[in-house]
Amino acid sequence: MNKTELLTKLWEQYTEITPSAKKIQDLLKEKGEEIKNDHIAIRTFNDKRINIDVLERLFLDVGYEEKGEYIFESKKLFAKHYEHSTDKNAPRIFISELELEKCSIKLQATVKEILDNCDAATFNNPELVLSGAVWKTKSIAVYNLLLEESEYAAWMYVYGFRANHFTINVNALKNFNSLESLNAFLENSEWKLNSSGGKIKGTPEQLLEQSSTLADLHSVNFDEGAMQIPSCYYEFALRYPMPNGELYQGFIASSADKIFESTDVKLQNNL
């Protein structure tokens, strides 16, 4: 699989459960925009069968290189970001993992059982990152148990290995020279934005401003029946130049901490 095939598959899987992303793209294209991606994010658990080291392999194979590392203490997450070695237009990749040893014994045991119930071959699949929720069962009871402690863990249980969001490169847009103006355009078109920590995360001084929609609601078939669960969101990133004139390439942990909440049903209920 080459880089283009990998990124195309991630996009197709993402838009299948995130119709908003396609609609927002179409809206921007109608204004004459050409869409470029700033980054794509992936989630996982830090169990050694499926951790960042496992999920990064396919990206390293197609020419990505490891760059930054980020720690999210209260959410018990760790993340790395990757940039392509030769294609400067390729989106960055952001992979995070839940640090299970910092979670309750109950959560650790639940995740271990979910993973132990999968065949070893499931995790040896070189295309694991495209394989969704590979576990054999999907129960509302397990979802609720995980949700009580970690919204991230609950999301991972339902949606698994896939792009959690794509991010529009706002610098590349022609009609919007600020994130405020893009946000206003989206809100005028009735899109709901994540307002945790303010609609714009980060400042020009931090060299990165980000905003995001609230995740779409998607109907999920559980063993007990269907239920609507937040799926994926669309993010918007505006980067500022560093003193050497080049755009900042990394991520800002305090902003990312709030962006993670775009899949949190609590934010949807607060509207």
Residue ranges that bind ligand OOG, judged by CB under 6 A? 41, 43, 94, 96, 164, 210, 235, 251, 255-256, 259-260
**Residue pair 168/150 in contact by the 8 Å Cβ criterion:** no
Q: Judged by CB under 5 A, does residue 261 bind Ni ion? A: no
Residue 235 touches Ni ion, criterion: CB under 5 A: yes
In the complex with ligand OOG, which residue's Cβ is closer, 18 or 164?
A: 164
37 binds, among ligand OOG, Ni ion, none (CB under 5 to 8 A by kind): none
Q: Among Ni ion, ligand OOG, none, what binds residue 150 when CB lies within 5 to 8 Å by partner kind?
A: none
Interface with Ni ion by CB under 5 A: which range of 5-13, 37-45, 114-122, 177-185? 37-45
Using CB distances below 5 to 8 A depending on partner kind, what does residue 238 bind out of ligand OOG, Ni ion, none? none
161 is written with which tokens? 């290995």
Collect contacts of 177-186 with beta carbons under 8 A, ≥24 apart.
178/238, 179/209, 179/210, 179/211, 179/236, 179/238, 182/211, 182/236, 183/211, 183/236, 186/24, 186/213
Binding status of residue 257 toward Ni ion by CB under 5 A: no
Return the C-alpha torsion angle 200, 204, 205, 210, nearest 10: 40
Q: Which is nearer to ligand OOG, 136 or 218 (CB)?
A: 218
72 binds, among ligand OOG, Ni ion, none (CB under 5 to 8 A by kind): none
Q: Which of 83, 37, 51, 79 lies closest to 64 in space, CA to CA? A: 83
Q: Is-contact 44 34, C-beta < 8 A?
A: no
In the list Ni ion, ligand OOG, none, the entry touching 164 (Cβ below 5 to 8 angstroms by class) is ligand OOG
Report the residue number, 107 or 226, with the smaller CB distance to ligand OOG.
107
**Minimum distance of ligand OOG from residue 263's CB (angstroms):** 6
Helix axes 151-159, 105-116, angle to 10 degrees: 10
What gap in Å lies between CA 1 and CA 127, rounded to an integer?
9
Instruction: Please give the full DSSP string across 80-104, using - where no structure is assigned.
Output: EEEEESS-TTSPEEEEEEE-GGGS-
Q: Which stretch binds Ni ion (CB under 5 A): 18-26, 29-37, 188-196, 231-239?
A: 231-239
For the bound state, the minimum distance from the C-beta of residue 208 to Ni ion, rounded and expressed in Å, comes to 10
State the residues that interact with Ni ion by CB under 5 A: 41, 235
